[in-house]
Amino acid sequence: MRYKKKANPLKALIIIFVVLIIIVGLGVGLMYGADKFLHSSYPQDYKEYVAKYSAEYDLDSLMVYSFIRTESGFDPESESYLGARGLMQIMPETFEWIRYRLDEEENPDMDFDAMYSPETNIRYGCYLLSYLKEQFGDDISVIAAAYHAGAGNVSEWIENPEYYSEGRLINIPISDTAHYVDKIQGAYNMYCKLYG
């Protein structure tokens, strides 16, 4: 005759308790890891320069980070196939225009290679964003469209109800620019969620 072993209720409770602790620990670890991953994916590098020039040009610093992340992934040596340079990917013609506007044409140290300098690039990029904000208002989508496609194009789109209605861009006729605007808006939303 076989005897059935009695279940030990204390042992069962201990096992359940240990399993719950493991599950909670894993959950906390995953949440911490995801948060750490998101913060590393949306960094705030060059904080001193971004804070300084965002304040000087009356910009939301999180918007500036969104442009830097989208344009160069925070690589100060970044150069596009079109010749844009640095953190905020300033084009040669745009550099010359900003240099003229800032009255730095006579400065021998201010040539296009200066766009590899994080501070100078952020200063020039913030100046450009400020100019676009002044021209088009606070809507980050319109600012991003102008940063990518040029102020002239956006000025034309704003005049056309097919592209602009009720104070916002509803249709962007250049697909690359539409994609760029979505990336900027997505980065900005994430920066606001993480740091806002």
Residue 158 lies inside a defined structural domain of this protein: yes
pLDDT tens-digit map of 49-92: 999 999 999 999 999 999 999 999 999 999 999 999 999 999 99
Q: Average of pLDDT values for 15-44?
A: 72
Provide φ and ψ at 5, rounded to 5°: -75, 135
Residue 128 sits in the same domain as residue 72? yes
Q: What is the mean pLDDT of the chain?
A: 90
Going by pLDDT thresholds of 50, 70 and 90, the confidence category of residue 35 is: confident
What pLDDT does residue 126 have?
98
Reported residue count of the chain is 196
For 153-175, give the DSSP string.
HHHHHHT-TTTEETTEE---SSH
Residue 71 lies inside a defined structural domain of this protein: yes
- The number of distinct structural domains making up the chain is 2
Residue 118 sits in the same domain as residue 89? yes
Residue 37 sits in the same domain as residue 56? no
What pLDDT does residue 103 have?
96
Residue 130 sits in the same domain as residue 186? yes
Q: Average of pLDDT values for 108-132?
A: 97
Residue 104 sits in the same domain as residue 126? yes
What CA–CA distance (Å, rounded) separates 36 from 38? Answer: 5
Considering the chain, what percentage of its residues have pLDDT values greater than 90?
Answer: 77
What pLDDT does residue 4 have?
61
What pLDDT does residue 69 have?
98
- Reported pTM: 0.83
Residue 34 sits in the same domain as residue 124? no
What pLDDT does residue 22 have?
64
Domain that holds residue 182: 47-195
With beta carbons less than 8 A apart as the criterion, state whether 92 and 112 touch. yes
**CATH no. for residue 104?**
1.10.530.10
Residue 57 lies inside a defined structural domain of this protein: yes
User: Which residues does residue 169 pair with via DSSP β-bridges, in sequence order?
Assistant: 164
Residue 109 lies inside a defined structural domain of this protein: yes
What pLDDT does residue 14 have?
74
